[in-house]
Structure 1
């Protein structure tokens, strides 16, 4: 989701506007990142990923983002989540539905019995609903919501999947490349803990900072420039793990996969024109200043209340 915020930054500071509704500040610019070289700009691409990708194989940088993202970062997150056949999954910040489609169709993913999703962007919600109409998922109940990832006590949030009064709980909660935006991430993690079944696991593809040096001046300057995350979310890898454990998660792991994410994504962006070259350069500065891309996970013990 970082590309969305880079594009938003460019809009705000350079006066560029995409065609979008009044309640959708981001539009569908990410479709351009999913098109293969030479594809018609007026055609909808086959995939609609909105994540930075997992560039384990360097030669993939020269291929399309579509081919790469479909089988890498999202699948790595799902593998970490240890999803089970017939399980109940909440997919938070699912964009225009590509991760939902993967959960319902990919041959290596156990098919969920219940799939819930939430996104804060109405256009993305409606597009996800439309795209899922073509998916045959007879054995899966699907419920999608519009709203903030964090539950707030008001009437409009009554059906929020993290409403503590909800009778629906989950085996897995997934957040693919988005939780660093939440206000706050810790609140989201606490709410998620209480909506997980005992033995349920949360898994996040997320951004934090290197353990050493902790949030140096360069990192603070770049974070303030990009407005990538709220101040309270700018924590180190060790602080991230401590936060999960303090909430009550066990078997906590925070895996640093920065080398397989930042350089590859930047290498993918830069050849796509001047604007993307600038975005890629700024993003690499963020990485050089201490930003780290991680896969964080933990589960709710069967003995917890």
Structure 2
């Protein structure tokens, strides 16, 4: 998923390393995507690379830092001397709550020495409360960053009961009540936050998301049953994914939004 997001954003095209890159990664997990991102965009080969990660979970931050330290320790120091990676624990959905250290690190991403500045949200933005707007606005207005993400959006013409069902499922999954937007609403939100309507791409990749997840959970349940292990709860989740795949009431999408050029 990360590789495809970076491809749509143009960060891995032809393995070009001419541009210097700064990334604000929200919800970076346990560090695997941090390491993978640096590898995929060939960060050590770029003139400059700066990365700031923010996660809500302190245990994940610690795990990510350990993974990062181990990766750098195993690497040739000459390969990493021009990189700068900082990881923080905080609520990425509420930039106004960040302490001085985080604010300073994020603000430094706005340095004009970076020809590419990006906000990355990989499969997490639908959890942001009260909404995605604060982090979109912060990225747009404070660090002049484009946005790249995997997110979930409502289908184009959901019925009233389908919309209600999705909102109730979102509530169970600790998502804000109105987190799921239609594609048109999502575009409007990005434009409101400062992104160029003519330079927003929302690519539906549902064919590669829900059916695969549902099938995996079903196979795991079947494989473990002979050992007396039940995945009943996960099986229910699998049926939800299957419903998403069949109805497309909810779609998995790659989102890339770019700021307007200064000339515009």
Residues 243 and 220 (structure 1 numbering): CA distance in 2 closer, same or farther, change over 3 Å?
A: same
Q: Answer yes or no: is 1:81 the counterpart of 2:9.
A: yes
Higher-Rg member (1/2): 2
CA distance in 2, matches of 1:160, 1:266: 38
User: Secondary structure of the equivalent of 2:136?
Assistant: helix
Conserved? CA contact 2:167–2:178, under 8 Å? no
Alignment of 1:224-235 (within 5 A): 224-227=168-171, 228=173, 229-235=175-181
Q: Which residue of 2 aligns with 1:168?
A: 109
Q: Deviations over 1:77-125 (max 9, x none)?
A: 112223364311111111101110101223xx23161111111000000
CA distance in 2, matches of 1:81, 1:262: 23
Conserved? CA contact 1:89–1:115, under 8 Å? yes
Q: Which residue of 2 aligns with 1:153?
A: 96
Q: Deviations over 1:161-182 (max 9, x none)?
A: 5998x34327111111010110
Residues 163 and 138 (structure 1 numbering): CA distance in 2 closer, same or farther, change over 3 Å?
A: closer
Deviation at 1:260, TM superposition (A): 1.6
Aligned mate of 2:132, from 169, 172, 185? 185
Higher helix share: 2
The root-mean-square deviation of aligned C-alpha atoms, in Å, is 2.4
Residues 299 and 225 (structure 1 numbering): CA distance in 2 closer, same or farther, change over 3 Å?
A: closer
Q: Deviations over 1:125-177 (max 9, x none)?
A: 000000001223322111111011123434x532335998x343271111110
Q: Answer yes or no: is 1:110 the counterpart of 2:46.
A: no
Moved over 4 A (4+): 161-164
Q: Which runs of 5+ in 2 are unaligned?
A: 12-16, 111-115, 222-230
TM value normalised by structure 2: 0.77
Aligned mate of 1:285, from 225, 237, 243? 243
Q: Which residue of 1 aligns with 2:202?
A: 254
Q: Which residue of 1 aligns with 2:182?
A: 236
CA distance in 1, matches of 2:103, 2:242: 35
CA distance in 2, matches of 1:182, 1:162: 22
User: Secondary structure of the equivalent of 2:121?
Assistant: strand
CA distance in 1, matches of 2:255, 2:169: 25
TM value normalised by structure 1: 0.67
Residues 225 and 168 (structure 1 numbering): CA distance in 2 closer, same or farther, change over 3 Å?
A: closer
Deviation at 1:195, TM superposition (A): 3.1
Q: Which residue of 1 aligns with 2:228?
A: none
Q: Which runs of 5+ in 1 are unaligned?
A: 1-72
